[in-house]
Amino acid sequence: MRAYIGARIYPVDAPPFDDGVMLVDDGHIQEVGADVRVPDGVETVDLSGRVVIPGMVDAHSHAGMWGDGEGDASRDGNERPGPIAADVDAVDSVNPHHRSFASCREGGVTSVMIHPGSGNAIGGLCFAAKTRGEIVDDMVIRAPTGLKGALGENPKRGSGKDSPKTRMGTAALIRDYFARAAEYGRKKDADKDPDPDAGFENALRVLRGEIPFRVHAHRADDIVTATRLCEALDIRYNIEHCTDGYLLAEFLGHRELTAHVGPGLSSRGKVEVANRDERNAALLHAAGVRVCLVTDHPFLDVRYLMAYGGVAHKHGLPFDATLRALTLTPAESIGIADRVGSLAKGKDADFLVLAGEPFRYRSPILSTFVEGEEVYTRQQP
Amino acid sequence: MLAIINANIVPVAGEAMPDATLLMRDGKIEALGTDVEIPGEARVIDARGRTVTPGIVEAHAHVGISEQGLGAEGSDHNETTDPVTPHVRAIDGINPRDDAFREFREAGITTALVPPGSANLLGGSAVVLKCSGTIVDDMVILDPAGMKAALGENPKGAYGQRQGKAPATRMGSAALLREALVAAREYMEKQDAAEADDDTDPPGFNAKHEALLPVLRREMPLRIHCHRADDIVTAVRIGEEFDLCYTLEHVTEGQYVTELLAKHRVPCAVGPTLQHGSKVENRERDFRAPLALAAAGVPMCFTTDHPVIAGQYLALTAGIAVSWGMDYDAALAAITATAAEHAGVADRVGTLEPGKDADVVIWSGDPLDFTTFADVTIIDGDVVYERGV
């Protein structure tokens, strides 16, 4: 057991407190609070003057499968030719030795949901993992955690012979996929033994409510199409990116949707992000949408997620909501809040030691801990 | 006439002045200090509790020429029909109505050097603009402001890989770049000979050679895109070989060749440091390069390479550099005074000094903090942005 003492602690699911004590044993939080007694003989780590927050949870990442200066050889996010790549599983594309995981740890991200890309109308299965480890299967927190779908520009660029050329074409493909999967399911239920189809099996997981459909949509009309498609199917879903969300805040707020807003700190390189606005996260939150701030790593280098939080906070997302949007809300959205996302008794000891209050450039992440192990230590060059 | 009073003025040239006044007249800075008299007709802005700095200078931004939210229709920075296009001019590709100019003003950026892109070995001439206006010609501070050149992955990607023609390698890129410089030098020598001797005919007009003459005559710099250390070294090799004024753009692996850059005192625009690893040559991007260059006394500024990283995050980048140990004043200079020197317009902008352009920002707090707003942005003495609170 080890005791971390003296820091100001933001548990996220409870008010912050100064001079906190957190007892960690066997990778889990045994106790956390201001009045926790440190048992005799326990090793203590003095964090006076520091700030402790939960390890951040990035609900939309391509860590291990994309980018980070590795060129074409490591692009494993979009299975081609599409447009329906429902049978693939992101777990099979992820390289734990990819430098992006080191970037996650440096950036204070201890849990990620790794998605297939958005090049296909149906992209494959997402899963949740810790950001340290050698064997991807050992890093998994939960798998699968969703089926990826995509609307808007990206699926239209597909090279497959059936790739859609229009937004209505993409929507039709997604409807058709779920309709045929439902028929497949009915045949199975009737013991008619249809030919095994991994893509349809994954659709059934969505149709039966086991996992949500996670829909890439930037532009307002694409977001509305996502709601139209998913509500007709009566499936759980959330919006990935949700760039125009602030233009529909009330519409989305009524639905109590979760929006994975990001990548932050980006420009408006595509037409579908022409309305990008820094106030998006704040306006969605104010309307009652559950907001997660995401990197879409590598598209926002995950080392700068905390800076993105600062910018969202600057543009009106309240401090507590910003912290939650980087920790507990994404953990809930992914379905791993029983283990991560806040500092509470029994949860994994995933936490960050900051030099000061979050979201300031003078408060960098000094250390990152995953399950009680220090996996990143800041060293000035 | 405009006066800012009760401000914490950080002129970048010289010490900060608490509770000071800045007076602007006819688009220029007239006076600053604690005993400046304010004429009755001046509009007065009370900046109590706030910080005032020079307008931010972005020394490498494709604003207006790689337009926001338009896709291919707004992409005018790479003339990829030929790897050698020194005769094209960025000013002819810039749309002042690009919404990014608004974002620049809102982020306190008042001046930008706009170069062509890096697909071509010689990409065309850059221009330095003020970030407010409708007619691009009226926004110009300096044109041409250097000749864009590129080494590394981009030219060989655009030609060798995509079009099956030269350059396909780094050595091919260097050879073509030399060839263009040698040809222009011969052209220049023929022109000079004709000038000196009435019986000698001048060479036939060649637009590409003409565009390179100011580079060969050291009247403007060659601005060489290079990320990797070997490309940086090639840039220095060519720059020295032709005895050019030259700057380095990006310099992602500068930490590996600091001594060479210090020896030649090569001005470096470092960045976009926040960029994702979009290609192999920017694999090593982080804050080691700017810190090493600054520590070695190499003249360096930060750049976002907008829209690679949106220009509005330039100050935030400087803030992160401070968190990694860069001196605060050096980091602020790297987005103002040094950036203006890099762009070749330090006589006009980059510091708050009497006689310089009245390009000024009033900040809600520390300009480098993630949560600080530019409250008021002033260009040539005119308020071009005021944050509604």
| pLDDT score recorded for residue A70 | 85
- Residue A319 and residue A220 share a domain: yes
Read off the pLDDT of residues A49-98 as tens digits, 9 standing for 90 and up.
Answer: 999 999 999 999 999 999 888 888 888 999 987 799 999 999 999 999 99
CB contact under 8 A, B373 and A314: yes
Which CATH number does the domain housing residue B329 bear?
Answer: 3.20.20.140
Read off the pLDDT of residues A222-258 as tens digits, 9 standing for 90 and up.
Answer: 999 999 999 999 999 999 999 999 999 999 999 989 9
- Residue B254 and residue B386 share a domain: no
- Residue B356 and residue B276 share a domain: no
Q: Which domain holds residue A44?
A: 1-55+342-381
- Residue A356 and residue A218 share a domain: no
Chain B contact for A361, CB < 8 A? yes
| pLDDT score recorded for residue B389 | 63
Mean of the per-residue pLDDT values for chain B? 97
- Residue A379 and residue A244 share a domain: no
- Residue A168 and residue A304 share a domain: yes
Chain B contact for A271, CB < 8 A? yes
What is the identity of the amino acid at A236?
R
Query: Is residue A348 a contact partner of residue A356, using CB atoms and an 8 Å limit?
Result: no
Distance from CA of B286 to the nearest CA of A (A): 10
- Residue A164 and residue A16 share a domain: no
Q: What element of type H or E holds A135?
A: none
Q: What is the mean pLDDT of residues A307-334?
A: 98
- Residue A87 and residue A2 share a domain: no
CB contact under 8 A, A71 and B371: no
- Residue B285 and residue B299 share a domain: yes
- Residue A235 and residue A376 share a domain: no
CA distances from B309 to A101, A301, B343 (A): 22, 11, 19
Q: Which of A268, A274, A364 sits opposite B323 (nearest CB)?
A: A364
- Residue B182 and residue B306 share a domain: yes
Chain B contact for A307, CB < 8 A? yes
CB contact under 8 A, A267 and B70: no
Nearest CA in chain A to B281: A69
- Residue A119 and residue A21 share a domain: no
Q: What ipTM was estimated for this complex?
A: 0.94
Chain B contact for A65, CB < 8 A? no
Nearest CA in chain A to B63: A267
- Residue B154 and residue B205 share a domain: yes
Chains A, B: CB contacts within 8 A come to 112
CB contact under 8 A, B370 and A361: yes
Chain B contact for A362, CB < 8 A? yes
Nearest CA in chain B to A315: B371
| pLDDT score recorded for residue A256 | 84
Q: Measure the CA–CA gap between A330 and A292, rounded to whole angstroms.
A: 5
Which CATH number does the domain housing residue A78 bear?
Answer: 3.20.20.140
Query: Is residue A307 a contact partner of residue B316, using CB atoms and an 8 Å limit?
Result: yes
Q: Measure the CA–CA gap between B354 and B23, rounded to whole angstroms.
A: 9
- Residue B379 and residue B282 share a domain: no
| pLDDT score recorded for residue B14 | 93
Q: Is the pLDDT of residue A169 over 80?
A: yes
The SS3 of residue A376 is strand
- Residue B201 and residue B266 share a domain: yes
Q: Is the pLDDT of residue A160 over 90?
A: no
Read off the pLDDT of residues A337-368 as tens digits, 9 standing for 90 and up.
Answer: 999 999 999 999 999 999 999 999 999 999 99
Chain B contact for A273, CB < 8 A? yes
Output the six-digit token pair for B296: 């070695």
- Residue B149 and residue B25 share a domain: no
Query: Is residue B361 a contact partner of residue B332, using CB atoms and an 8 Å limit?
Result: no
Q: What is the mean pLDDT of residues A182-199?
A: 96
- Residue B60 and residue B18 share a domain: no
Contacts of B227 in chain A (CB under 8 A): none
User: Which portions of chain B are predicted below pLDDT 50?
Assistant: none
Residue A5 CB-density burial (10 A; 0-12 exposed, 13-18 middle, 19+ buried): middle
Contacts of B281 in chain A (CB under 8 A): 69
- Residue B389 and residue B297 share a domain: no
Q: Which of A69, A266, A303 sits opposite B279 (nearest CB)?
A: A69
Strands A365-370 and B222-226, by their bridges, are: unpaired
Q: Which domain holds residue B32?
A: 1-55+351-389
Chain B contact for A62, CB < 8 A? no
Query: Is residue B117 a contact partner of residue B152, using CB atoms and an 8 Å limit?
Result: no
For residues A271-303, one letter each, b for 16 or more C-beta atoms within 10 angstroms of the residue's C-beta and e for the rest, the string is: bbbbbbebebbbbbbbbebbbbbbbbbbbbbbb
- Residue A7 and residue A88 share a domain: no
Selection from B229, B264, B232 nearest residue B248 by Cα = B232
Q: Measure the CA–CA gap between A285 and A323, rounded to whole angstroms.
A: 13
- Residue A220 and residue A359 share a domain: no
Q: Measure the CA–CA gap between B354 and B22, rounded to whole angstroms.
A: 10
Output the six-digit token pair for B72: 């291919």
Distance from CA of A315 to the nearest CA of B (A): 8
Q: What is the mean pLDDT of residues A31-38?
A: 96
Number of domains in chain A: 2
Output the six-digit token pair for A80: 């081609």
- Residue A86 and residue A226 share a domain: yes
Mean of the per-residue pLDDT values for chain A? 96
Nearest CA in chain A to B276: A301
- Residue B278 and residue B366 share a domain: no
Q: What element of type H or E holds B114?
A: strand B109-114
Number of domains in chain B: 2
CB contact under 8 A, A275 and B69: yes
Please enumerate in sequence order all residues whose Cβ is within 8 A of that of B114, keeping only pairs 6 or more positions apart, or say none.
Answer: B61, B62, B63, B64, B65, B90, B94, B126, B127, B128, B129
Contacts of B287 in chain A (CB under 8 A): 381
- Residue A44 and residue A147 share a domain: no
- Residue B125 and residue B173 share a domain: yes
| pLDDT score recorded for residue A273 | 96
